Structure 1
Amino acid sequence: MNPVIDVLTSSEVDRLERLWGQLLAHHSREAAHLAALGPVRPPEDSWLLRRAQYLAWLREPLAAVLVARDGDQLLGYAVVRVLDSPGSWQWGDRVGVLETLVVDDEARGSGVGQALIGAVRARLAESGVQVMKISVVAGNEGALRFYRREGAVDFMTTLVMPVPE
């Protein structure tokens, strides 16, 4: 598959809802252990929250939603931001953050994810960004394998725990 990569405007963000729902379902399957901390939000609620985040992020100067499409059909999307990079490693003044990468269930394994990550990396490089941070839900081993094949290395582990009442 050879998808076309485009930049989605904030006025088109609702086109992402279907794919966000697929990602939510995928995460709930892959990270079933997290249900012990509370149930997954209903898809409509989850989308409203994520939609608000996307719109807020898209007001940042270097944030973007890149979409992979075949004609009018969205095959996947990636949301990327650029943040200041104060930290222990010399990674330049800014670091990229891949907030979301999702590929349509029917398009997985067809190169859509590779096309999107390649477009994200090219966009960040144009802005002088040298490093991109990526978070993966624990249990999503397929995503870890994908990012490692693309050159990602382990950096930080984030844990969550209940707080007693």
Structure 2
Amino acid sequence: MDFAIEQLPAADIDELGPLWQQLLAHHSQQAPHLEELAPVRSPESSWQLRRELYLQWLSSPDTAALTARGPHGLLGYAMVRVVADRPGSWQWGAEPGDRVGVLETLVVHDDARGAGVGQALLDAARHHLDRHGLKIMKISVIAGNEGALRFYRREGAVDFVQTLVMPLSPPP
């Protein structure tokens, strides 16, 4: 598959909306157990919330929206940013002020999966963070998305923290 990786300007953020909505659908398929706690947002509402976050993050020069674009349009994107992170037990970077990369989103169009797009976006995210002198990238994966876990583990990711969500009222 023919594509190029480019950095998306913040002014073009709305190009990412349809892919974000595909990811929302994928998440709801992979993690139906979460609907027991709360309903899935509408695609429009979800995109508006994510869009606001993306614009906020893109106001930092350390953040990048990396896109994979083919002859017929957008095939995927990765949103990666730099954050301060001092977990206490591990020294992620040079003291003082450990910084890590965060892969906030990586999504590949349904029709482009398995064609190397995700790999190219992950490589571009790594390169972006390496240019900022970072050594660690954090990645969150929705519970149930075993394919994503296998992909990241093949790339050297290891388990660090498990985040659980629970209702405030105990089950009956």
Letter matched to residue 152 of structure 1: A
1:151 shift after superposition: 1.1
CA separation in 2, counterparts of 1:124 and 1:43? 30
User: 1:8: which partner in 2?
Assistant: 8
Q: Is the 8 A contact 2:9 2:65 kept in 1?
A: yes
Q: Is the 8 A contact 1:21 1:47 kept in 2?
A: yes
SS at match of 1:17: helix
User: 1:64: which partner in 2?
Assistant: 64
- The TM-score, its normalising length taken from structure 1, stands at 0.97
1:72 shift after superposition: 5.3
2:153 to 144, 148, 151: 148
CA separation in 2, counterparts of 1:33 and 1:151? 28
Percent identity over paired residues: 62
Alignment of 1:88-99 (within 5 A): 88-92=89-93, 93-99=98-104
Verify: 1:103 aligned to 2:108, yes or no.
yes
Q: Is the 8 A contact 2:5 2:66 kept in 1?
A: yes
Of 70-79 and 107-116, the range deviating more from structure 2? 70-79
1:91 shift after superposition: 1.3
Number of residues of Structure 1 aligned to a counterpart in Structure 2: 165
User: 2:53: which partner in 1?
Assistant: 53
- The TM-score, its normalising length taken from structure 2, stands at 0.93
Verify: 1:75 aligned to 2:75, yes or no.
yes
Verify: 1:138 aligned to 2:143, yes or no.
yes
Verify: 1:119 aligned to 2:120, yes or no.
no
Letter matched to residue 15 of structure 1: E
> Over alpha carbons, which structure has the higher Rg?
2
SS at match of 2:133: coil
User: C-alpha deviations, 1:48-68, integer Å up to 9, x for none?
Assistant: 000000000101220110000
Q: Is the 8 A contact 1:9 1:65 kept in 2?
A: yes
CA separation in 1, counterparts of 2:158 and 2:27? 21
Unaligned runs of 5+ in 2: none
1:164 shift after superposition: 2.6
CA separation in 2, counterparts of 1:129 and 1:58? 18
Q: Is the 8 A contact 2:2 2:71 kept in 1?
A: no
Letter matched to residue 92 of structure 2: W
1:86 shift after superposition: 1.4
Q: Is the 8 A contact 1:3 1:115 kept in 2?
A: no
Moved over 6 A (4+): none
- CA RMSD, aligned part only? 1.2
User: C-alpha deviations, 1:11-64, integer Å up to 9, x for none?
Assistant: 000000110010000000000000000110000000000000000010122011
SS at match of 1:23: helix
